[in-house]
Structure 1
Amino acid sequence: MKLNIPRSLSLIVLIFLLFILPSSQVFADGFIVIPHPPPHPPPYPRPPIIRPSAPFPLDVLYHHVQVTIKGQTATTNIDQVFYNPTSRQLEGYYMFPIPVGAVLQEFTMSINGRQVSAELLDAKKARSLYEEIVRKLKDPALLEYSYQGLFKVRIFPIEPHSKKRVTLSYKEMLTLDYGTYTYLYPLNTEKFSAKQLKEVSVNVEIIAPDELKNIYCPTHEVDVVRKGARQARVSYEEQNVKPDRDFKLYFNTSSSPVGLSLLTYQTGREDGYFCLSATPAYDQGETDVNEKDITFVLDVSGSMAGDKLKQAKKAVIYCIENLNVGDRFEVIRFSTEAYALFRELVSASEANRDQAREFVNTLRPVGGTAIEDALQLALSSPVQRERPHMIIFITDGKPTIGETNEDRLLAKIEKANISRTRIFTFGIGHEINTHLLDKITELSKATRTYIAPTEDIEIKISNFYDKVQSPVLTDIALNFGRQINVYQTYPQQLPDLFRGSNITIFGRYKGQGETKIVLSGMARGKGKEFLLAANFEQKDTQHDFIPPLWAARRIGHLLDLIRLHGQNKELVDEITVLARTFGIVTPYTSYLIMEDEAVRTVSRDIREEFQTLGRIGNVARESKKRYKAEFDAMKLKSGDQSVQVSKEFQALNEASNVPQTAQGGVRLDYKDGEGKMQNLTQQVKNVMGRAMYQSGKFWVDSQLQSTKPRSTVRIKFAAPEFFELLRNKPETAQFLALGQNVRFYLNDTYYEIYE
């Protein structure tokens, strides 16, 4: 079976549990289905009609997806087990749309081990079915798939207290765009499932014809295990979850020592957004790795006594034992004063490493905390321009000896760092000055890490060292060509590129058309350049995950500016607008949004019905106070809240997938007007690159606060005009699928859908 489907939503498994109700309506989880009675009496005894008090879905015991990608062909195998928890015999339909842009080559399906045939509905018939469901049962959830083809399988009987195992397999051709492959599997089952899935997993095996470079999943936290230059496994697994977004995976192949890939998002009405990734070859040899200089600076003050120093010593020894051939290193311990073992950077010979191990093992905790002396000593070693120099600075305290004033100490460190050494800080525990450590990393263009009292210091530091052990390219710069102007790129200062890692850059751009992106840097003392032929589209809205991820990084950067350098109205206003527009809802941004909407509603700068989080704040004043307290915690320089703020802001600064944008989301619970526990992050959806908010009974488009529509159209849900809008403007399906009451902006028009 070969099907050419130019546009459809990727495979999604929908299970409909059908009940015969007095109104002849049949309910399935999250949306409603109208069953058609069979034309002839069934050849089996029909069980007595039992009218349940409320509909409920079959439980999903597990949902396993195994994917094998060879070249441009992906084979997807799905294994699901459903459970009927009732004492009734049930009838159901198993339905799923065809994958996006897929050319299906093979399709098989079985139920409890028996091969079955699925009925294929083309896009027109499927749309007719979807619209019938919406008309009669007043549920628009299926409209998201309005223009997809569809497979449908009738399942009967579903015995009481029994399991139904459904397996299916299909092959498809992946899309390839400027060297980047795209695979999509729909896990967006949230609106179809009242209960959490007990277990869900997606495992993707990639076998590429050329060397695999960048492997990137923007939608989920995944584990990527490289099995060679051309093979890798990507794994996602969770338990007791309700998935609410599709699984997207991008990867590219290249024979270049550094592979580049570009994805863009452009509506055609404003400047575009881009995501650029750079990944070195898997099998970089020692001759391809930069020789580095590294200085380990370890706090041995009295407060480090016990497990803290014991674990920190093990971590430093691990790093020393894993130095590369050609590396140079130094070890400095500090308390009341600082002391350097070698008094210069020395080669990583076995003799020098033995001496360093012995030195570290003899360290004992005593005295104060002389941070000034320690870093001045670490920065005094002569370094060579072609060799990257980094400092790993480990401490659990605040400066108590020498210069203790934060600003003066930072000025001294900046003046001493003439070699532009990157200082990676590791703060242990909560009694540390996070502002000082974070400003040190900001000045040196490095990163900070905080280790809680319950965390393993050795594991955290050794894991970090594994990532930076082998520099491949340093002093990195990017050139996008004359016709493409990029701005607000994050990270602002490009880090070095290490073996086994990658760099992901998000930014804005002006201009369009084909160009050559040049990544340049230093490799073993020589300048290197790597090219990517790319196209910045005039309009391309396929990769709608890019704007929110760019916004998360910019918000993280701006919040850090406020925290470390003081608050001003311009920064607060920009954070508020970005957070609301792109749905970056954290304890810090939600407070700003609520405050802003409260003021602007009173002053009539916005209409009350266009509020996003403002209305929620009216019924959750206690929660709003908590969010304000969290925002005010940015001013704290030490303590557990200060550490938490620093970690969450850096995570926003480095966000590469959607889950990482919801920093602090677990603390956004509140009680609604009916006393039910809710969470703000569950009331935000991204549609077409911007946020929609569930405010009262309406879903409200964040763009309504920043636009002035030329016209207003009000349409009653499920009226003839409703379906006419859907057919004439298919892009509205994503908005209409949210619910029966939706307010959104599209093409200079304000649409209000009401029940």
Structure 2
Amino acid sequence: MERSAGYLTLLGLLLGLATTLPNKDDWDIYSFHINSTVTSRYATTVITSRVANRMDESKEIEFHVRIPKSAFISKFRMFMDGEVYDGVVKAKEQAVRQYTEAVSRGQSAGIVSSVGRTLEEFKTSVTVAAHKKVTFELTYEELLKRRLGKYELQIHARPMQPVTDFKVDVNINEDAGINFIDIKGGLSTKDLANAITKTETAKQAWIYFYPTVDQQKVCDSCSDNGLNGDLVIFYDVKRDASFGDLVTKDGYFVHHFAPSELPRIPKNVVFVIDQSGSMHGRKMQQTRVALIHILADLAEDDFFGLITFDSDIFHWKRELVQATQKNIDQAKKFAENIQDRGSTDINKAVLEGSRMLNAHPREDSASILILLTDGDPTSGETNPERIQANVRKAIAGKFPLYCLGFGFDVNFEFLEKMSLQNNGLARRIYEDSDANLQLQGFYEEVATPLLTDVTMMYIGGTNLTQTNFSQYYNGSEIVVAGMITDNDIESFVPEVVALSRNSRVTFSNPNATTGTASVDRIQRVWAYLTVKQLMEKELQLSGPEKEKVEKEAMDLSLKYSFVTPLTSMVVTKPPGEDSAVLNKPKEGGSTLPSEPDVGSSVDSSVSSAPPTQRFLLRPANVSLPLCFDLSATNVKLLHQTSRGLNINGEINPEENGGFRSIVINAQSDLSIEVKTTGVTVKEGQTSTHYSSPTQITAGSVTVIIRDKDIDVSFGDVRLVILGHEISGRKFLWPVFRQLPLDNQAAGVLVANLDYEEGAASTIKVKGQEVTVSRSSAVDYSVPTPVTVDCWLLSAQEAFQRPSSDLYN
């Protein structure tokens, strides 16, 4: 439930960054180069930052960049005093051991974390002697994905200060030929447009972005701190043959298949829309707007269904109907009147959508099921594994399921697994002003099916990536890579068989090309695709099969030095300097894998002082979140005396160690205590402990225990308690999904305060000017923790009252 600005979210502290970040004014980034080379849609990008310490004393110098989420870091190096310090990719467990040895000596962690929709943030630092220099060099790789008829190469520039020698060089090589190329993004507009040079030939393109120091201060998102924005390059290749582009080299091949001159296949589509209470406000409004636009885009030979759900199901029509103008107009009126209410029965809703499609078989058509939800299952069947099994049985491989997860509160891993099990995919919809456009954009990607039951066959091929695809959509692309047995190109016969609108079709091409891509580049495309697909497969498995696939993915990641969710890069630094471990975040994961603990030292000595925990404020009128520390054992999370509701949290003894327990007193004789080991419910003199997934009703309180979180609802309040585990340390994290409707509640998580941006490094709190410093923390209030920057102030300054008022 949305409330006004100022609600608090608990955050873990990133070790080594608890104090003010290194002061960038103490060093000079005198050179910052980004060089990206794209060959046959595979991009290798190198970021090189050269920095000088101009001070008369040693300074900590930071390297801080953002890279695409789809990319794998493959190399990181530092050059200092004639020495080269290389990052080494290791199995995550090995990296943990090396990291643990480092932090036991008080050293700090580098980290890669998710930032926004499309980027991940990488940062590390090193101490540089007076008047000395350091060079940072980071390499990452990605296979560009074709969406809506174009590839997208995103380059983010954020050097943190204007740079005298700033250059972005992009070279695109496509043997198939370049059809068009466009340059967009915040760094391509207005005053920066003339800093861009573009040169094209039939098969190559060069883009140079060389802004002056003055130009680096004037873009829409720029300031005296320099550039902070994207340069986005869109392009597509020429497609003379329906078979696509097949490149072979020294025993490897890559096949790009994207035929376009095909008749569209009529579709049967059912939209399953969450209208539970958590969709209140802008989410529901944006969903209505998007749905109305999507309905208007249906073709007349399409059939469609529309259902909404909370704890019940609401049909527009109980069966699919043709997309005539009359039916579309009626469906739009239904969409306009969707109202949020109730809880969330995902199981019942998706099964009903499946029933509607199964009841409407139609030759020469393609069926699609689209689920939009922002929450976890909270009514009906709530066990994710049983829901996934039910849905898989209902769909039975007959059509794909696409799951759109609205916001960061959604259990994305649950949706992702359910989609992959049913030949679809999951996509996160971000809670921004353009969420309705995100929804429409996704629909456009699947709006025009051209082929179904696509089988990619390669006689004489081995170690192939995925070769079977349920549907192929206009504007997309299927990519398959593999090896040619014994490098016998004469016996290598590729062929594609699929169903078109009216017939079975076969695509073949006896004229495979060698192209300009090196064998190393083709091998890396194969390895990149294989690792990505193994990680998707691993998500769907359990037991020995899961372990086998994990090992295969990890071995390949190690061989090609990819930083993946199964590997880490250990960054070696000069003797006496901080080691660092880089981990790739997993989109939407419920918990972090066993990896270096970025929240606490491994020193287990216990101080007599109360533990310290960092909290975050998110005011609407401040550019960065605010954060403050509380030193306490028990903290008031929410107190509402009018209904006798008290929720308190016991902080772990480790600094920034999360919560050891959460205690909910909902009425005079009802107490619910949540620990990492389970839930204890006390009603009067009766006490019952639960440790496995189940649903409990006690008085007016409903508790749903899942494998990785616990959902507690009472009236207009809903609390989700996330479980995290890092380096074997388990802890809890409370997150309110719905807050009391009145303003009588108090506590750390329900502050309703107004803030304003002041002068440099100041914030106005109730009109009082407060000095703040730059800091950073890890947000554990989401299933996959993310690192955020924040302005640090004291709790007393944040609340304008003694911090002891927040202790229980």
Query: Greater share of strand residues, 1 or 2?
Result: 2
Bigger-Rg structure (1/2): 1
Identify the TM-score tier after normalising by the shorter chain. 0.3 to 0.5
TM-score with structure 1 length normalisation?
A: 0.47
Q: Determine which structure has greater relative contact order: mean sequence separation of CA pairs < 8 Å that are 6+ residues apart, divided by chain length.
A: 2
